[in-house]
């Protein structure tokens, strides 16, 4: 099959060449598209690659009937409606790291230019002036550098600051003190960062939590004369509050690469201020970074469409081609077990506990858990897939937990799934024999060894002589041929289960006849 991939905007030629060379990809390249233009054509595509100006919004995604993956050639995915993509089961990938150094260098360049009034000096000289006194600057040496968001870029900015004799402090609620210490950064509270910094450089993502993280309240807490750099995202700084703080002298200067609205309107309050310097979202604009992100996203898409590998996804666990090969039988087993359990005991689950024991516990089991959920909820939603299974479970209030036990008992690897529905609890376990043969090895505590395949009937019955004969007679009389028969019981004369693989689906009439056998407590059809 050929997958249609649309690239919007200027993707470096090295990346386009990789997409063009892929035998299973048919490539279309268009300029940046507006929402309506993209909505009108997106239905035809399986893959979409965007930079920051094309915005796959909720409306675009609603029209994306065939879309499997959106690739962002860059870091920030705030131009993509990720929740809407997740809802539709579309993988969203970015290229973390491809432009990290470039952007950190740009932030640092802005900080130096800001400290020494380089753009203002340039313009002044171009205007025929010689204003040496007016543009006296400050040193970076011995100053406190506040890094807001100590991720990939923030960490490098702190490192470059140290090289210049600055003292980096950082605020990041998701970073441990030890990890910060390894980067040579003193981890502080947000208020301390505002109070102590001579320079603040912002490097968080734009999220509802970080929008206007540097606003009126923050400026009130800052050291007088602080200088601020934003090379992350417009919207992190409240621009109106920044203009006020600059005019009041609380903030001595600001350097901005990004704006709430890009490009900013001509009457923007910050554009007229002499102590603010700007670049038009150039953070990632170096030849090296553009090639890095283009090549990275192109390879990620080719891998995705060729082997199913997921790398750099922001809404699904990453699975390399290699890991996928290793995980494949477990993912298949997980889906079969989940599906078996949902059909046998009900999909209206409230709790799911999955235990991985033995060798499988050493793997990244998140894709297997997704597969179990896909299996369990099969037929209950037409948007269900491996990307959104956890989200759909969460939306339904299903509590999902995973545990791992590295020591193996009876099987080299065992996946056990326990579920709770309104009508009770159930458990199913499965293992893989000879590296590839899937088996169900336990159903509600009954040990057995069944191939999870095709049409099956699960009968729970009293362990009384002749019962199995009666069940088989009903099937035989109704031309339902038995392919395999698996039996399980705990003790003689108690309750037993019969798992019967049949060559055709048992009709409603056959199911009713089975239910009429007094020793049959329950009979369910299962299709795997
Ligand atoms: P990253 O994910 O590696 O780092 C972001 C850090 O922010 C993480 O450590 C995270 O824990 C932290 N964080 C999250 N919420 C926070 C909060 N409430 N307070 C403090 N810290 C918080 O991302 P990155 O690759 O370093 O990118 C950082 C930013 O730079 C992003 O906004 C990205 O979009 C932007 N960016 C801009 C350009 C550009 O052209 N100007 C280029 C690349 C990246
Ligand atoms: C990013 O998030 O990668 C940058 O904003 C650069 C870009 O716009 O592509």
Pocket mutation for ligand 1, best pick of 99, 104, 149, 201 (most atoms within 8 Å of C-beta) = 149
Go through the chain and tell me how many residues it has: 528
312 inside domain: no
Residue nearest to atom 9 of ligand 2 (CA): 74
SS3 (DSSP) at 368? helix
Task: Indicate which atom in ligand 2 lies nearest the CA of residue 94.
Answer: 3
How are beta strands 446-450 and 455-462 bridged, if at all? unpaired
* pLDDT < 70: residue spans in the chain: 382
Pocket mutation for ligand 1, best pick of 82, 92, 203 (most atoms within 8 Å of C-beta) = 203
d(CA 490, CA 57): 56
The Å distance, Cα 181 to ligand 1 centre, comes to 19
d(CA 345, CA 301): 39
d(CA 511, CA 474): 9
Residue nearest to atom 8 of ligand 2 (CA): 52
Residue 13 C-beta-side C-alpha neighbours within 13 Å: 1
Exactly one of 13, 262, 288, 394 is catalytic; which is it?
A: 262
Residue 204: CB atoms within 10 Å: 23
Q: Are 368 and 502 in the same domain?
A: no
d(CA 379, CA 342): 10
Tell me the β-bridge partners of 277. Answer: 255
243 inside domain: yes
Could you tell me if 393 and 400 are in contact, meaning their C-beta atoms sit under 8 angstroms apart?
Answer: yes
SS3 (DSSP) at 232? coil
Residue nearest to atom 31 of ligand 1 (CA): 205
Domain-ending residue, one of 437, 452, 467: 452
Q: Are 116 and 216 in the same domain?
A: yes
d(CA 283, CA 505): 61
How are beta strands 482-489 and 455-462 bridged, if at all? unpaired
d(CA 7, CA 25): 12
Q: Is 106 a catalytic residue?
A: no
Residue 313's pLDDT is 86
Q: How many domains does the chain have?
A: 4
Q: Are 525 and 491 in the same domain?
A: yes
Which has the closest alpha carbon to 113: 249, 279, 1, 239? 279
Q: Is 281 a catalytic residue?
A: yes
CATH code of residue 468: 3.30.70.260
DSSP string, 61-123: HHT-TT--EEEESSS--TTS-HHHHHHTT-EEE--TTTTHHHHHHHHHHHHHHHHHTHHHHHH
Does the CB atom of residue 281 touch ligand 1 within 6 A? Answer: yes
Residue 358, both tokens: 């033995």
- Report the largest interatomic distance among the alpha carbons of the chain, rounded to a whole angstrom: 108
Q: Are 362 and 417 in the same domain?
A: yes
Q: Are 434 and 391 in the same domain?
A: yes
336 inside domain: yes
By residue range, what is the domain housing residue 160? 100-278
313 inside domain: no
Q: Are 408 and 378 in the same domain?
A: yes
Does the CB atom of residue 209 touch ligand 1 within 6 A? Answer: yes
SS3 (DSSP) at 464? coil
CATH code of residue 417: 3.30.1330.90
d(CA 12, CA 291): 6
SS3 (DSSP) at 380? coil
Could you tell me if 191 and 169 are in contact, meaning their C-beta atoms sit under 8 angstroms apart?
Answer: no
Q: Are 123 and 272 in the same domain?
A: yes
Exactly one of 46, 51, 167, 233 is catalytic; which is it?
A: 233
Which has the closest alpha carbon to 329: 372, 368, 288? 368
216 inside domain: yes
The Å distance, Cα 233 to ligand 2 centre, comes to 9
Residue nearest to atom 6 of ligand 2 (CA): 284
d(CA 282, CA 400): 43
528 inside domain: yes
Task: Indicate which atom in ligand 2 lies nearest the CA of residue 258.
Answer: 5
Pocket mutation for ligand 2, best pick of 7, 72, 75, 105 (most atoms within 8 Å of C-beta) = 75
Which has the closest alpha carbon to 458: 488, 413, 415, 436? 488
Q: Is 262 a catalytic residue?
A: yes
The Å distance, Cα 204 to ligand 1 centre, comes to 3
Question: What does residue 190 show for φ and ψ, rounded to 5 degrees?
Answer: -65, -40
Q: Are 169 and 37 in the same domain?
A: no
Question: What does residue 415 show for φ and ψ, rounded to 5 degrees?
Answer: -110, 120
Pocket of ligand 2 (CB under 6 A): 51-52, 74-76, 99, 281, 283-284
Tell me the β-bridge partners of 187. Answer: 170
Q: Are 363 and 493 in the same domain?
A: no
Domain-ending residue, one of 452, 484, 508: 452
Question: Helices marked H in 142-215 — which ranges?
Answer: 152-163, 177-182, 190-196
Q: Are 79 and 144 in the same domain?
A: no
Q: Are 373 and 438 in the same domain?
A: yes
The model carries a pTM of: 0.79
Residue 229's pLDDT is 98
The Å distance, Cα 77 to ligand 2 centre, comes to 9
Tell me the β-bridge partners of 159. Answer: none
Which has the closest alpha carbon to 108: 199, 225, 206, 3? 199
Which has the closest alpha carbon to 451: 470, 435, 466, 432? 432
Q: Are 241 and 342 in the same domain?
A: no
Residue 338's pLDDT is 96
CATH code of residue 12: 3.40.50.720
């Amino acid at each position: 099959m050929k997958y249609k991939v649309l690239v919007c905007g200027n993707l470096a030629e090295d990346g386009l060449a990789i997409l063009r060379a892929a035998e299973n990809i048919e490539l279309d390249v268009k300029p940046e598209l507006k929402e309506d233009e993209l909505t009108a054509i997106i239905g035809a595509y399986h893959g979409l690659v965007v930079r920051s100006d094309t915005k796959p919004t909720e409306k675009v995604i609603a029209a994306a009937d065939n879309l499997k993956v959106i690739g962002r050639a860059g870091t920030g995915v705030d131009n993509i409606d990720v929740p809407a993509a997740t809802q539709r089961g579309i993988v969203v990938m970015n290229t973390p790291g491809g432009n990290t150094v470039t952007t950190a260098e740009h932030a640092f360049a802005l900080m130096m230019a800001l400290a020494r009034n380089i753009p203002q000096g340039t313009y002044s000289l171009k205007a025929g002036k010689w204003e040496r006194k007016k543009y006296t600057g400050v040193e970076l040496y011995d100053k406190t550098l506040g890094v807001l968001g100590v991720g990939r870029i923030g960490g490098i900015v702190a490192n470059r600051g140290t090289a210049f004799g600055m003292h980096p402090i950082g605020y990041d609620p998701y970073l441990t003190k030890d990890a910060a210490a390894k980067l040579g950064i003193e981890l502080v509270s947000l208020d301390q960062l505002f109070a102590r910094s001579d320079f603040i450089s912002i490097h968080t993502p734009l999220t509802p939590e970080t929008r206007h993280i540097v606003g009126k309240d923050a400026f009130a807490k800052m050291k007088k004369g602080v200088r601020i750099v934003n090379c992350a995202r417009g919207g992190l700084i409240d621009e109106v509050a920044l203009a006020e703080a600059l005019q009041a002298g609380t903030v001595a200067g600001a350097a901005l690469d990004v704006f709430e609205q890009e490009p900013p309107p001509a009457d923007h309050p910050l554009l007229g201020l002499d102590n603010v310097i700007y670049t038009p979202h150039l953070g990632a604009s170096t030849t090296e970074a553009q090639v890095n992100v283009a090549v990275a996203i192109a390879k990620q898409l080719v891998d995705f469409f060729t082997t199913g590998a997921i790398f750099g996804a922001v809404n699904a666990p990453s699975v390399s081609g290699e890991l996928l090969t290793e995980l494949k039988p477990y993912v298949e087993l997980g889906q079969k077990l989940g599906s078996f359990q949902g059909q046998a005991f009900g999909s209206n689950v409230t709790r799911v506990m999955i235990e991985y024991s033995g060798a499988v516990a050493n793997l990244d089991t998140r894709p297997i858990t997704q597969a179990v959920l896909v299996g369990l909820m099969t037929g209950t939603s037409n948007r269900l897939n491996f990307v959104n299974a956890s989200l759909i479970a969460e939306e339904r209030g299903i509590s999902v937990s995973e545990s791992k036990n590295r020591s193996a008992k009876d099987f080299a690897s065992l996946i056990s799934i326990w579920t709770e529905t309104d009508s009770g609890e159930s458990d199913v376990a499965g293992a893989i024999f000879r590296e590839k043969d899937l088996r169900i090895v336990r159903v509600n505590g009954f040990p057995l060894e069944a191939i999870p395949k095709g049409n099956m009937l699960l009968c729970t019955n009293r362990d009384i002589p002749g019962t199995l004969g009666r069940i088989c007679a009903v099937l035989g009389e109704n031309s339902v041929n038995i392919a395999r028969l698996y039996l399980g019981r705990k003790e003689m004369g108690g309750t037993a289960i019969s798992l019967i693989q049949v060559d055709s689906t048992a009709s409603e009439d056959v199911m009713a006849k089975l239910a009429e056998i007094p020793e049959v407590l329950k009979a369910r059809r299962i299709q795997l």
